[in-house]
Structure formats: C-alpha cells, structure tokens
Chain A
C-alpha cells in the first residue's frame, strides 16, 4: 500500500524526516519497503502483514505513527467516535433486501440526489494519485478517498440505472455481469452479488458493474458501504481471478465500527464537492462492532519478554494504540477497539507493547542448554558420514527436484498405483514425486554432457516416494552414477569409467560401513539396465540396491550418448546393517607369504566361485586375496580367459614354513581343478 507523507501528516503532527519516520514504522512492524521522493512528495510503500487490516488505511498508519511518536491522532469530524449519524428525515424510499446475512452481515445504502459529477479538485486528485490510483470523477474519487482513508470499501451506483430495489444474494449459476473494467464475468452459484430486478449490478465487495457505473451523466447515486464476509470475498475473488482495493480489504476483514462512519464521511465530502442532497441511511444487519475484553497481567507479559517494561508504560502504549484500559489489582482490563480484530488474547497485547516499546530495546540473554545428550539419530550421522566418504571416492554431490515428470519414469517398471501424484502441479515437470533418483541423475548428466563435460562422477542422497494403500512412504536413497572419461593426464593413459569402477565404489562403501555384513552382487534383470550388467546388491540376505549400465532406450530419452553406469542403495533398508563404530584388531608379528595362481577357465565360471573355493580350502591361513590380472588373447584358447589371483598366506600363531604354504597352495589348485575344471598357466 502506498501512503504519502503529507496525507499522513494531515492526521498526526509529525515533524521528522520522512525517512526517519519510515524507519520507525518499520521497526514497529509496519514495514516500509521503500520511501521514495516523487516530485517533492515522499511516498511510503508499505507491506502490511495479514493480521493488520487496520493498517490498510491512512488513518490506521497515522494511528501507529502517533503511538510511536507520542502524538495525538486527529480524525475528521464524521469519523470521530460518538458522532451520531445524520438524523433520519422520513421513511426509507428504497427497498434493500439481504438474502445472505452470513455472507453480508451488514449493508448500508444512501441515496444522494441532484449532485454534479465533475472532475475532482486538485487536492483530491493528488491524494488519489499518491496512492497509485487514477482519478476518475469527483464521486468515484471520493469513494476511493474514503476507502484509502478509513479502509472501508465503498461503491457508488448510478441510482437511475438501477431497476427496482436491490437484493444482496447468491448468483445463479452462469449469471453474467459486465464489470467496470469492461469484462464479462460469469458467476458461480455461490458468487455473492448485488442485484436489481434485471440481474447482478455488482460482484459484492469486489467490483461494480458497468451498467450502473457513475458517469458524467449521473445525477443521483446510491452510496453503498457494507460488510461482506471475508471468506466469501476471498473465494469469489480467487474463482473469478479478480482482485481490487475493496476485495483486498474485505478479505482481511473490515471494521464494522467504520461502515456507517465512512458512509457519513463520504456523504459529507460529496455534498461539499458535488452538491446534492443526502437521503436517509438504510442500515441492515448486525451493527455491533468487534469488541473484546482481555485480562492482562503486565508482570506475566514482562517475564515472557525478559524485560521490565512496567505497568504504567504498558498501559500508556496500549492507550496510544486506541485500547481502553481499566486498572485492576495486579492486572488491567483491556478493551480492544473495533478496528483491532487481530487482538484476541493477552499474548497479542504483549506483542503490541513489545513492538511499540521497541524490539531493539529488549536485551539479549543466552538460555541454559536443555537439550538431551543425543544430538542426532544414527541415520542422520550416517548420512553425513557416507556423503563425506563419497566425496573422498571422487564423487560430486548433486541435489535435484523431488518432483518429476511422469513420463520420465515410463518404462522403469514402476507400478502406476505406487506413484505419488501431485493434484495441482504448475507444470508437467512437477506431476509426480520421484519414485527413483534416476531421472534426476540422468537429467543432470544430460545437462552437463550437452555443455561439453568429458566425464562425470556424481551422487545424490535424497528421498524417493511411493504410495502404498494410502500410506505414503519416504525412503532415504543413495544414487551414484559414472559416465565418460575417468582420467586423462600425462602420467596415465586415458581411461573411461566402466561397470567395475561403479562396483568398486559400492564395495568400498559397504566395506567401510557394513564390515560385518556379507555383500553379494547377483545378476538380475532390471528393465532400466542392460542385461549383461544388471546387478542386485544383497547385504545380509536382503536386497538393498542395484547397479549396472543404463540401457539404451532410457539414455536416448534423456539425450545421452555416452555409457552411464548407475546404481542405487536404499539407505533405510541398509540402516540396521551399517555401523560407524570402529574396532582395533591387533595384527600379528608373523610374516606373510604371497603366492600367485594363474588360471585359464571358461567364461561361464565366475570369479565369485573361484574366490569362494580359495577361501574355503585355504581356511584361516588365507589372509588376503586379490585379482591381479584379467587377460584374453593369443596364448589363451578361444572362449576362455585367464585370471591371475594373488593369495596372501599368514598364520596368527607362527611363522609359516615354505612346505606348509606349498601344501595348501597345491591343495587349493587341486580343488579348483577338480571342482571347476580350470587349467593353470
């Protein structure tokens, strides 16, 4: 809301630098977003919080300024409390019916005859312009002026264009009205309208109709000042997609204590600036303004704030804001003025006192530490530690949106019923909550590859989501992807990432965090992965993840040309198997002996089978086992390949004799030959 300094000054005697006033208002909760000097006039742009409907008026802001500066607020005569409405001078000559008292608790109307519609005087135009509105004519400008001054929306109808009496009612479905912005609006059946015998002439509280608009030809007007229900106005304004200065204020609830006074104020201004004779007021509905009485204990308030403001200071602040205060023994009885419907409890009064007293004046203390000794649950710590470990392994962390395009997970083999679907997405890219981290990861790879990245090693630790019979499940998941060039430097050769680089990362991770669990990599068949490498990760008899090379059709969908190796781990499922505790195991002083075994074998025999036999046969003495080489080529018969394993033998009790090592090594070779039919080189 725009408020000009000079308009403000007409209600309160401020004589400080406007920028200083802007600062003081801001520090009292009336946020001045900007204070601009426009042709010699300072205009404040205010950001009024949703609770302070009273400050959607110049008077409300002036009241704040007066309270802050310790000045008196001077109100126009018609708005002062206790000024009676003009005396009724006969019976009403016009019929108003309110069919929806819940949606329109109060409706006042007044006919003003024989006025002259013309251009407003300069002072009025300036006021209207300073608020960012456009001057139209004296009548419209006065209704806008009073709205800005008091916060009470008003509407003037051209009385002669109203057919018969008026009714405040709900619209019929598809009833139409052309509003003053020259747009045809189609009402819903719960749209509240002001209608004459022919149909709607205004959308209640939001916008008037073009048909009854006040124009240069207008001689007589009907001046409306009403109280429309905030929820109803808000709904209609949203459904029809129109907002106005009026609807903005109705939505935030207006002051019923101002409805009639504002009408009187407008009447007085009209008779001054447009002449005419004001008729009787028609006033239908609930005339009681908001009122609330609160027992308030300044001592309790002070102890919540942690500062001694004291009773007398508290009382004077409340009074300056328009509250009336009666002394009781320890506490005070506070009556809330009708324009402060946001104040309902003692705590609200504490805030009023604190903000005028000044938050800045409230000192700073450090509370005692009361938290428990357990800082973070295991999963949280684990997630942090695993993230760190992954960066050590050369991976960059990414964070992608948890909402994704539904189409991006098509062909992933995911049950459509398990997808968590967003009812009101803003775009197709927000249709569902991700059921896997893969689309996010592939999107990032595609983005970077299109920008000439040569190789990427990435991970994401985040949630995936699914629905299971109205239960929503959020699972902490880890995804890792490798693609393109792994290393290219003068010391080594150029090397691309492959499946085993990815497998190595998973192995290292599980080895570090689940050392006591047996991890098995098992061939399987996931639709998103290439058959040859689609691998399930089994840890302690439970499938905790998968990895493999992403299949062509999926890569194509994301526009990726390079091979991508991708894997996921379900952290929630892994959680009870993981540990970050470390234990020291003493190592023996006895030396170890290494022996190599070079095998030639058929492609159907797996490394897993070989190592299993070596470990089982060698038993306790096999302390280390690694695959040193893999080879194919001339020396190897067709359809076979060579593997070179290095075995480290060691005893915990003694130095191994050569003969003993020889005996076991030979036994291992014999067993391999017998069980797997391998030959040796």
Chain B
C-alpha cells in the first residue's frame, strides 16, 4: 500500500501540472478528494491493513490528503487571479472618483491654529462687538483724543461717538469690566481702518488679542508665552526677538519679531534683508488701563499682545497680496 500512496502522489503532481483551468482542476479534485475518490479508497483499504502498520499508514494518508488539498487551493487562487486579469482589463490609470469636499478659508484655518495653540497654553476665547463706543477704542486704552498716537488708529465712524473698532484691544476693556482676575484670554475678531487698499493694506482685517492678568504676572511670562507661540506656529527653530516699542495701553511695550521663516534669518526680500519679521505687538498692561476698569495696579499685573491674522497667514503660505483673501477666487481657495 505504501507504493500505491507514493504513486498516487506522483500522479496527482503531474495531473495538477497539466490542469489548464478551474474546470480541469475540479475534476482532479473530485478524482482524488471526492466522496468516491482515490483518498476515500485508501481510507477503505486502511481498515483492512495490518494492525501494526495502521498508524504509520494513517499518518501518511493524512499527509497526502492535506498536501493535495493545499495544492489544489493554491492552483485555484492562481486561476482566479488569472481570470480577473483576463476578463476585466481595468485601466487603473483612469482618474479615481470621489465626492469633492470643500475647504476652510485660509484665514479661518490659521485662526483655528492660533486659537488651538493658546487654548493649549490655558487661554480662553472671548469676543466683543465690532461696532463700538469711542471710549473703548481710545480713552479706556489710554489713547488721548487728538494725540499723534491716534494716527495709527484712524477710524471709521458711524454716528456720534459710535465707530468701527480699529483694534481688538477694545475687548480687553470689556472683559476686565465684567470680570475680576485671574484672566487668561484671547480675543479674535475683525477690525477696520480707513486705509487705501493695496497689496499690503486692507480696510478690514482680523486680529487676535491676548490678555493675562493676575497677581505676579511678569514680563518674563510674556516672553515665555510668545516664545512658545511663535515656535508652535512657525516651527521649532523659529527665534523670537523683543524690541522696545510704544503702545499707549502697555508699558513697557515691545514689538516682537521672529527670525525670517523664508530665509531662516539670512536676509531676503520678504524681511527687507534684516533677517527678522515683525509679527506681534505686546507689553505689560499699563497701570492706567487697570485704573480705567477699576483694578488696583498695586495688586495686579498683566500682559497683553496683539497680532494680525492676515499677516501671519501671508507669511505662513507665502501669499504676497492681502486682497487675495477677500477676492475669494476659487483657484486660491482650493489651495488650503
């Protein structure tokens, strides 16, 4: 019987080789594994074999059966794969099909990013009205009437002392009027200035204002927060530089530059060959602002900062004309 088994294996191997299609394979399967096939026959014979030979023969038979099964399956898969290729010559280079989804405006995208960074640093988000009283835009922020420091804050007026806010610093006052420290908040929003429109000026743009007030808030904290922000926004290698400056509502005040993200600080057209880009205004809240909202400047200190969303977005994406944001050309919108 051992010889028969070996012969069966050999004949199976050659028949398998000769199988041309799924059909002939099936007949091979029936011949060997079928209910009346060769293996079934062997099993019948096994019952009649010598008692001591039985276990070894049984083992042999099982091995063969397994082998045949595996080989047939393998061949079957081959045929299936071949048939797919044969019957459907799919041109997989044809374009894929999908339902196009839209995109957020780049300003929204960048604003979301700014918000998320500050949220992760513990800031809350607050908003205030765009149509404001003169008081909130100027006096409360220590910007006196008819002072040259107002030149930077030319304003659209509506009626009487109602105007369109020219900066989001107005919201600082509204928040401090409502709430006692601790305060840790950012205030995004639209602002308006009657500037003639060109590639770098717009009469409407977006700002994000920040304010942190508590006992013992220091200038070093301001530096720390803004350092973290610029690194997260523009990349780990970004350097931050604080330059003394002037804003009526902060003292000491600083202009914050980052190392040019275009040339890495080597100097290029974008940074006017200085290696630095002005990105933020900041400072410690002027005690006179605290007095305006009824906080004791002896008790509380704090910092404030403000940045332009358009400017940051332009730098981030290499956009060279601010008007593109408001033109909303679909070829522009699709890129973000």
Binding site for B on A (CB under 8 A): 26-29, 31, 34, 49-52, 230-231, 234-235, 251-252, 303-307, 345, 347-348, 350-351, 354-355, 359-360, 362-367, 369-372, 374-377, 380, 384, 387-388, 390-403, 420-426, 430, 433, 444, 447-448, 451, 453, 456-459, 463, 465, 470, 472, 474, 489-491
| A-B interface contact total, Cβ < 8 Å | 237
Q: Which residue of B lies closest to A491 (CB)?
A: B97
Judged by a CB distance under 8 angstroms, whether B119 is at the interface is yes
B220 lies within 8 A of A364 (CB): yes
Q: B330 — which chain A residues lie within 8 A by C-beta?
A: 396, 448, 453, 456
A474 lies within 8 A of B129 (CB): yes
- Given A366-B228, A474-B129, A490-B95, 12 other A-B contacts at CB below 8 A? A29-B246, A34-B272, A305-B252, A307-B220, A369-B122, A370-B183, A371-B122, A376-B115, A397-B108, A397-B333, A422-B156, A448-B330
A396 lies within 8 A of B131 (CB): no
Q: Which residue of A lies closest to B215 (CB)?
A: A370
For the residues of B in contact with A, the DSSP-based class is mixed
Binding site for A on B (CB under 8 A): 94-95, 97, 99-105, 107-108, 112, 115, 119, 121-127, 129-131, 146-149, 151-152, 156-159, 162, 164, 182-185, 190, 192, 194-196, 203-204, 212, 214, 216-221, 223-225, 227-228, 241-246, 251-255, 272, 284, 286-288, 301, 325-331, 333-334
Q: B146 — which chain A residues lie within 8 A by C-beta?
A: 231, 234-235
Q: B245 — which chain A residues lie within 8 A by C-beta?
A: 29, 31, 49
Closest Cβ of chain B: how far from A48's Cβ, in Å?
Answer: 9
Q: B103 — which chain A residues lie within 8 A by C-beta?
A: 391, 396-397
B328 lies within 8 A of A403 (CB): no
Most chain A C-beta atoms within 10 Å of own C-beta, residue among B157, B218, B287, B327: B218
Listed A/B pairs (5) with beta-carbon separation below 8 Å: A28-B244, A347-B287, A364-B227, A370-B214, A394-B101
Closest 10 CB pairs of A and B: A29-B244, A369-B122, A306-B218, A306-B220, A49-B246, A351-B252, A355-B244, A371-B184, A370-B182, A367-B221
CB-CB under 8 A for A27 and B243, given A398-B105, A422-B158: yes
A251 lies within 8 A of B221 (CB): no
Q: B216 — which chain A residues lie within 8 A by C-beta?
A: 303
Q: Which one of B115, B130, B325 lies within 8 Å of A399 (CB-CB)?
A: B325
B224 lies within 8 A of A366 (CB): yes
B130 lies within 8 A of A402 (CB): yes
B204 lies within 8 A of A402 (CB): yes
A399 lies within 8 A of B184 (CB): no
A354 lies within 8 A of B105 (CB): no
Q: A398 — which chain B residues lie within 8 A by C-beta?
A: 105, 328, 333
CB-CB under 8 A for A380 and B127, given A364-B227, A397-B103: yes
Report how far A345 CA is from B301 CA in the complex, Å.
15
A399 lies within 8 A of B102 (CB): no
Q: A27 — which chain B residues lie within 8 A by C-beta?
A: 243-244
Report how far A359 CA is from B253 CA in the complex, Å.
10
Q: A459 — which chain B residues lie within 8 A by C-beta?
A: 102
B251 lies within 8 A of A348 (CB): yes
Report how far A28 CA is from B217 CA in the complex, Å.
23
A370 lies within 8 A of B122 (CB): yes
A425 lies within 8 A of B156 (CB): yes
Q: A375 — which chain B residues lie within 8 A by C-beta?
A: 119, 124-125
Q: B217 — which chain A residues lie within 8 A by C-beta?
A: 367
Report how far A31 CA is from B244 CA in the complex, Å.
9
A424 lies within 8 A of B122 (CB): no
Closest Cβ of chain B: how far from A541's Cβ, in Å?
Answer: 28
A367 lies within 8 A of B246 (CB): no
Closest Cβ of chain B: how far from A209's Cβ, in Å?
Answer: 26
Q: Which one of A372, A400, A422 lies within 8 Å of B124 (CB-CB)?
A: A372
A426 lies within 8 A of B329 (CB): no
A463 lies within 8 A of B130 (CB): yes
CB-CB under 8 A for A399 and B99, given A347-B251, A366-B225: no
Report how far A51 CA is from B142 CA in the complex, Å.
13
CB-CB under 8 A for A397 and B212, given A376-B125, A422-B156: no
Report how far A420 CA is from B100 CA in the complex, Å.
38
Q: A351 — which chain B residues lie within 8 A by C-beta?
A: 244, 251-253
A371 lies within 8 A of B124 (CB): yes
Q: A399 — which chain B residues lie within 8 A by C-beta?
A: 105, 107-108, 325-326, 328
Report how far A304 CA is from B334 CA in the complex, Å.
47
Closest Cβ of chain B: how far from A662's Cβ, in Å?
Answer: 38
Q: B159 — which chain A residues lie within 8 A by C-beta?
A: 421, 423, 470
B328 lies within 8 A of A424 (CB): no
Q: B182 — which chain A residues lie within 8 A by C-beta?
A: 370-371
CB-CB under 8 A for A474 and B185, given A359-B242, A397-B104: no
Q: Which residue of A lies closest to B112 (CB)?
A: A384
Closest Cβ of chain B: how far from A404's Cβ, in Å?
Answer: 11
CB-CB under 8 A for A421 and B220, given A394-B100, A403-B192, A474-B131: no
